[in-house]
Structure 1
Amino acid sequence: TPKSVVALIAEMIEPFKGKIYDPCCGSGGMFVQSLKFIDSHKGNRKDISIYGQEYKNTTYKLAKMNLAVRGISGNLGEVAGDSFFKDQHPDLKADFIMANPPFNQKQWRSDSELVDDGRWAGFDVPPTGNANYAWIMHMISKLSENGTAG
């Protein structure tokens, strides 16, 4: 995700205090930018908690390293994992969700998978041919009562 887009998201949602979550965190750029936002607005880094998840093992390791070299503490789960099938934070309710999911993801599940998933209870089951709706529903399911997503 371009830095300018990530910076804009941070400026829009203003993640000063609470839990920040990225369900497809890649190398952790959303988290780094969140802390830059906090620093530039004279906030306190201790007022936030970072949660993320990444599907690709190499990118997951890169995200952990990216946070570590900057002295950022975060919970990216024990292992790399798909947010739909191996949710590393099943009970998380985040105050801020910053994400750039892999749009137009094709055949992300089979016809029989995740049909009774609680994340879309009361709504249509996301189609198998495109995961955009599933990403939106996943993020909504992770928001706290007054949470903001961007």
Structure 2
Amino acid sequence: GYDTPPTSNANYGWILNMLSKLSDNGIAGFILANGALSADGIEGAIRRKMIENDIVESIVILPRNLFYSTDISVTLWILNKNKKGRVVSRNGEEIHYRDREGEILFIDMRQMGEPFEKKYVRFTDEDIQKVARTYHNWQREGASESYTNEPEFCYSASFDEVKAKGFSLVPSKYIEFVNRDETIDYDTRMKELHGELTDILRKEAESRAAVLEVFKSLGYEIKI
């Protein structure tokens, strides 16, 4: 569980205000209610303009019950004013960023996390490392070898893909989800269930017969 409450999707205004204060290489992260991903009207127009201006770098949808103040699923927006390829020195390391202009990385963390304090969820170190590794690999040179789209987890979408979906930033519109119903062999599964149910009913009949026999031996025969 986390203390920070999610931001309402009505707060696009202060996001734009914060963006205006970022440097040309500035990066910011905001937590918004999921409605901001596809809202229409003024919010939709602002979202479209942010996408067209190539400020949105990544959208990370989070699981429910992550915050103490609400149980809803919310979204982390990572906004970056410079998605061009460049070399940055950080903590003595040279980081070679590739050109990500016209791309947005979608990540779905809703199946991640572990139970915390019975009713909450928190991320494990492994969860955080996986997401960080995925994000950084996608950002940097060599992404064609180190990053791949992963069903039910992540997808790198192009501007044209996002435009074709009405500038919606709902991750499930881009990340592939497996239809497990199509992979079920119903005939085989029904035979398995038939065998399991037959065994359960047989044992139930045997138990009932044993109980009836006990009562009969005690002189209290039960007639059904």
Same fold by TM (over 0.5)?
no
The structure with more radius of gyration: 2
The structure where strand makes up a greater share of residues is: 2
Structure scoring higher RCO (CA < 8 A, sep ≥ 6) equals 1
